[in-house]
Structures are given as C-alpha cells and as structure tokens.
Structure 1
Amino acid sequence: MSVRLKLTLSYAGFLMLAGVLLIVVVWVFLLRYVPNVAAVRTPAEMDPNQYVLLRGFASAAGTALVFLLVFGLLGGWILAGRMLAPLTRIRNATHMTADGSLSHRIRLEGRKDEFRELADAFDAMLARLEAHLAEQQRFAANASHELRTPLAISQALLDVARNDPNRDTGELVERLHAVNARAIDLTEALLVLSRAGQRSFTREPVDLSLLVEEATETLLPLAEKRGVTIDTSGDITPAVGSQALLLQMTTNLVHNAIVHNLPEHGTVRVTTSVHPETVVLTVENSGEKLPPQLVSTLTEPFQRGTERIRGNHAGVGLGLAIVKSITQVHDGSLTIIPRPAGGLRIAVHLPTVPADGQGRPGGAFPRNTGRPDS
C-alpha cells in the first residue's frame, strides 16, 4: 500500500475507534440512568418508551458510524494528500536530478517544519552539486587546453623538422625536451591535485616548522637565481595530517611566492605560529599590486597572478589550487590578502594537535638543529 493509503486508513480507523468509544459511553449512560433497562431480558418486557429510545439510539449510532467511516476515508485521503504534497515535490525533484537536471529547485513555501527543512537541505545539496559540476567542467576544459598546448607545439616542431631535413636537430631536441618537461610537470600537478582532493591518507603528527625548513632549503637555489631573499621564523608548530601533502602545500606556497615576485630584490617571509585551537602557516611576498577581484580567483585551477611570469619556473597554474585542496581535506581554511605595497599574504589555518593531560601537544615532533641560512 502507498503511504497515502496507509495514512488514510489510519485516520479513518482512529476516527471510527473514537466514534465507537463515544457510542459505548452513551450506551453505558443509558444503561445506568434509564430505569429498569438493565433488568429487562426481552424487548417484550421493556417499556414501550424505553424500547423506542434504545432502538432509535442504535439506529442513530449505526448511521453515525457509517458516516464517520465515509467521512474518515474521504477526509483522510484529502488530508494525507495535503500532508504528502511536499514529499511529492521532493520526489519529482529527485527524479529530475536522477535524469541529469541540477538546475531545478523545490523552493518549498510555508512554515519552517520538517518538510521545509528537508526541501531546503535538498535545494542546498543541488546547489553544491551544480557548482561542483560546473567547477569540474571548467577544470576539464582548462586541463584539456593546457595539455593541448605542449602537444600542439611538439607537433609544430616535428612538422618543421620533417619539412626541413637540413635543420639543426640539436635546437629541435632542446625545444622538444623543454615542451615535454612542461607536459610532464602539468600531468604530475594534475595527479597531485586529484589525490589532494581525497581523504584517503593516514593522519599523523606533523611539525609545520620542519616542513618550512625543508621547502625553503629545496627552493633556495631558485630564490637565489631570481634574487629573492627568504626569511623564515617560528617555533614548533604541531598539526595533524599527511606529511607528504602538507609538505607539497608548503612547497607550493613558497614556490609561488618566489616566482610571483619583483624582478629583483624581492622578499619572501614564511612564519609559523600556534594558537589555542589552530596553527597558522603564513607566507608573504613582495610583488606587483593585485586587485582584490583577481586575488579571489587565484585558487582556481590554471589561474596565474600576473601574465608576465612565463619563465621555466612559472608553474602550470595549479599551485594555489593544490594548496586550497590540501587545506580543505585537512579541515583547515585558506585566506589570501593583497598587500598594500604589492604582493600577497597567504595564511593557512589548520587544527592543532590536541593537548594531553599536562597541556603539552600530543604526539612527538623530532627536531633537527639546523635551519637554512636565508
């Protein structure tokens, strides 16, 4: 049976039960207060007036029960339909979603009850799914465009070599090598981004200050080559998560700060700090002044802060997108603020390690004694 039919029968049955109880009460009243009714054994022994009264009552009671049954069924069917109307709209929206339409919204009117909360939650879910699908479609289009570029360049170089057999192959090989290296970097960045969006990693205590040391030491040659000075500071900064992903996040932040900097005499400052419930990794760099509307798009895949950055270390436009994804899967938050003098201030807030009974951070954090000169 459908839910509507079950509710109809429930309403009608409850109404019939209430009617029968009412008739029983009236009948008991008659037996108690009508004289000598309880002592009468046959209708012939009953007083004619009493007989007419009881017979009329029985007929009226039967008619009332039939009326209650019909009224309960019809009224219950209508009431059940009105009660289940929101579920019907939610069901129809579910079918439309299953058919691939994510733009439909229920927008249930009326008071805020359980059905309204369910419909609003469903609308919010559809909005998130639609936004996520649109983001995935943009990402697929951008990734296809970025991957097509090195392939098209390789094909053009090979066509030139085929049409000009006497051309210097050394230059061709060098250019093909550079194009192929960029395609490999892009593919690896896409793989990192796809893995970063998953939560299938082991959470363990991680010291962000050690990750800062490792990232700055790795990128120090690049900073020296571009004339950028790196300054790091911070004590033990306990966090919980994947050390590999958090190291990737830190490296991307420092790398981004180095390559998107001033042409010369640029600066990068990396600090870590501990707060009551969070730890903060902050990366500030000098650079060109960026408008706030551009800064808000920097975490989108394949977005670059300045079009002038086109060197070998310019990246593939996924650095901050990876940072955002890694931050989200670690239950953290990312803020990007343009500095008044130029450049950016990027802060990553992550949950800290819960303290033990002595108020010390839980977990052990091995330390090394050296910090790279920067």
Structure 2
Amino acid sequence: MDRAAGMSVRLKLTLSYACFLVLAGVLLLASVWLFLLRDVPDVLAKPPPGGVLERSVLVRNFLPAAGSVLFFLLLFGLLGGWILAGRMLAPLTRITDAARMAANGSLSHRIRLEGTEDEFRELADAFDAMLARLEAHVAAQRRFAANASHELRTPLAITQALLEVARNDPAKDPLLVFDRLHAVNARAIDLTEALLVLSRADQRAFTREPVDLSLLVEEAIETLLPIAEKRRVVIIASGHISRVVGSATLLLQMTTNLVHNAIVHSLPERGPVWVNTGIHAETVVLTVENHGEKLSPHLVSTLAEPFQRGTQRLRNDHAGVGLGLAIVKSIAQAHDGSLTITPRPAGGLRVTVALPTPPDPAILAPDQRRGVSPLGPRPR
C-alpha cells in the first residue's frame, strides 16, 4: 500500500521530548516571574545602597538570560530526545527486521529480546511464538503436500502400468485388469475425498448446529457393523446424551474414522472395542479404545500426522489412506476441541476427543438438562 511520506517515530519522539523540555523551562521561568519579579516595584522610593532595584531593570536583564536558557533547553531536548528515542525504539527495530525476514520467507529467525518484562519484551515474545507456529504450520503443509503427491501418484502409476500391460498383452483376462483398475480407482477416490474433508475441516467452512454425539456413535457403529463382523470384532457402546455445537457431517466423519480405525487395528482375541460418550466438567468427551499391538509412545505421537500408519499392515479393502486420525484431529480442532492418543499398556490405543459444551443451555435437549440417558452397554 502506497502511503505519503511522513516523520519517523524517532523524530516525533525527539520533537515531543524537546517541546516538553522547553515547556517545562517556560513554566519554570514563568514561576520565577510570578513569585519573584512580580513583587518588585516599578520605582523605589529609596533605592538600596550600591544600585537601583527596579522591575524594568530586572526585566531587561532577565529576558535575555531566559531566552538563552530556553534555547539551551531546546538544543538539549533535541539531542537528548534523539538519543533516548533511539534507545527506546531499538527493540522495535529488531522486531521490524524480524518481520521483514519473515515476509521474505525466513521463518526460522527469532528475536529473543533480552531484558526485563515490558511491553516490547511481551511483543517480541508473542512475535517469536507466532513465528514458531507459522514455521511448524508451513513445515506440516509441505510434508502434507509431498505425502499427498506421493499417495496420489501411486494409484495413477498403477493405473498406467495396468493399461500398458493390457495393451501389450491382448491375451490377458480383461476382467482381471478391470477389477484391479476398479480397486485402484476406488482407493484414489477415497484419498481425494479424505483430502477434501481435511481441507474443509481446516478452513472451518461449515454451518454449526446442535449435534448429539451419542446418536453419531450409533450411526457410525451401524455403518461399520459389517466390517466388525467380518473381522469378528465386538463393539461395546455406552454413554450419555452428549450434545455439542458443530457440523453433523464432519462430526459423523470424525466418529466413523475413530471407530473404523479401532476396528481395523484391533486383535479380536484380546478383547472388544469400547466406544463411550460423556460430559466431563465443561467438555463433551468421546473415547474409543481397542485391543491391538503394543505401540511405542514415540510412534503414537505421530499417528495424527497425515499419511502415518501405526502398523505395517497389508493393503486391503479397509487399509485406509493414512488420513483417518489426521482428519479426526482437524475436525476436533475446527470445533475448538482436542485429540489425545494414549497407548494402552496391554496393547492398543485409547483415543479421546474433547469438545466444548454448548455455551447456551437453551439449545440443550430437555432430557439432557434433567439427567442422564444411557445408551448401553451392549455388544455388537
């Protein structure tokens, strides 16, 4: 944006200091006149020995001296103000330089302003924290773009290879090629839809409305029941009416991802999958636990990153695209909530999503305000 040139802040502060100092001098000289010279008579009836004490004489001697003092105060104010303003604005200069470096793409630079806590130190620390978040966000976006490109390139490369094989080998069964192409295309569609959901959650481009998480758990379990039965996984759902404000579509996607992830990573012989909803203090909590392989805390800390998978499982019709928990985390954050992933000592995971309760009690259902309405438990 083009702006008209103006005085710098340092020059403005210098002039302010100088004007204030001159004004203080004027007030001081005025007080001398008010309290001393005002009481001197114009003409004395009896002059004092050795001289004439008259107001006119004192005024003639006082005014040049007063002018010299004011001139000295003006010069001293300009010089001292310029130096003081420079020292005061030095931290702001460092912050400005850091902002210019960040605008040019260097997000690794930090101000690290020394000294005691003051307004400039607080501003510098806030700016450093913002740069750290921006650097982490940009790094995550770059990793995400690279991983997404890799994941999207894989089905395209497989499709191209299948088409070349079909063209070069006319005797090959076309139905087999079609089946493989269908599977590869379905995976590419799933990945694209997951990326769109993730983008929508990150942008918070959705309409907020009252939603009962317990009903979403019911719907997600009904949807995933065939997969659970195929894998002989028992699902136990329990909880209370847990109403939040948000997008029913995204929250259903979040719940479905959690339950699906628990099913496909579960070891049925070790125990069931538990799904629970409840209200704790000022949050609504959705908890999903399963019995699976033991995972290290370091590996668990990376599971919510895009395209991270907890185990080296074989690719199958329910292997997923590595965005399940990343989508859950984005949806939770878009609803001002949080995602916590904890490894269970016996194996498996405990995944908890905490969402804020609605701020307006009027939107809560009457039965929720009265008490608790249990869902289960009941095996699936």
Using the size of structure 2 for normalisation, the TM-score is: 0.89
2:31 matched residue in structure 1: 25
5+ long unaligned stretches in structure 1: 41-46
- Name the CA distance, whole Å, in 2 between partners of 1:68 and 1:173: 92
- Shift of the 217–314 alpha-carbon distance from structure 1 to 2, 3 Å rule, reads same
Native 8 Å contact 1:354 1:362 kept in 2? no
Q: Does 1:320 align with 2:325?
A: yes
The aligned runs of 1:116-155 (5 Å cut-off) are: 116-155=121-160
- Shift of the 365–174 alpha-carbon distance from structure 1 to 2, 3 Å rule, reads farther
Q: Does 1:192 align with 2:194?
A: no
1:141-176 per-position Cα deviation (integer Å, ceiling 9, x unaligned): 000111111111111111222221221111111111
Count of aligned positions: 363
1:15 to 9, 18, 21: 21
2:88 to 72, 83, 86: 83
1:16-43 per-position Cα deviation (integer Å, ceiling 9, x unaligned): 1111111122223332454x3x348xxx
2:48 matched residue in structure 1: none
- Name the CA distance, whole Å, in 2 between partners of 1:28 and 1:313: 94
The aligned runs of 1:1-374 (5 Å cut-off) are: 1-34=7-40, 36=41, 38-39=42-43, 48=52, 54-262=59-267, 267-354=272-359, 356=361, 362-363=364-365, 374=380
Native 8 Å contact 2:242 2:277 kept in 1? yes
1:84-126 per-position Cα deviation (integer Å, ceiling 9, x unaligned): 1122111222222211211121111112111111111111111
- Name the CA distance, whole Å, in 1 between partners of 2:270 and 2:31: 98
1:44 matched residue in structure 2: none
- Name the CA distance, whole Å, in 2 between partners of 1:369 and 1:301: 33
Q: Which amino acid aligns with 1:7?
A: L
Which secondary structure state, in structure 1, belongs to the residue aligned with residue 115 of structure 2?
coil
Native 8 Å contact 2:240 2:278 kept in 1? yes
Offset at 1:201? 2.0
- Name the CA distance, whole Å, in 2 between partners of 1:124 and 1:265: 44
Native 8 Å contact 1:7 1:76 kept in 2? yes
2:47 matched residue in structure 1: none
Which secondary structure state, in structure 1, belongs to the residue aligned with residue 272 of structure 2?
strand
- Shift of the 146–365 alpha-carbon distance from structure 1 to 2, 3 Å rule, reads farther
- Name the CA distance, whole Å, in 1 between partners of 2:176 and 2:227: 25
- Name the CA distance, whole Å, in 2 between partners of 1:352 and 1:21: 62
5+ long unaligned stretches in structure 2: 1-6, 45-50
- Name the CA distance, whole Å, in 2 between partners of 1:57 and 1:217: 99
- Shift of the 252–150 alpha-carbon distance from structure 1 to 2, 3 Å rule, reads same
- Name the CA distance, whole Å, in 1 between partners of 2:326 and 2:289: 18
Offset at 1:263? 6.4
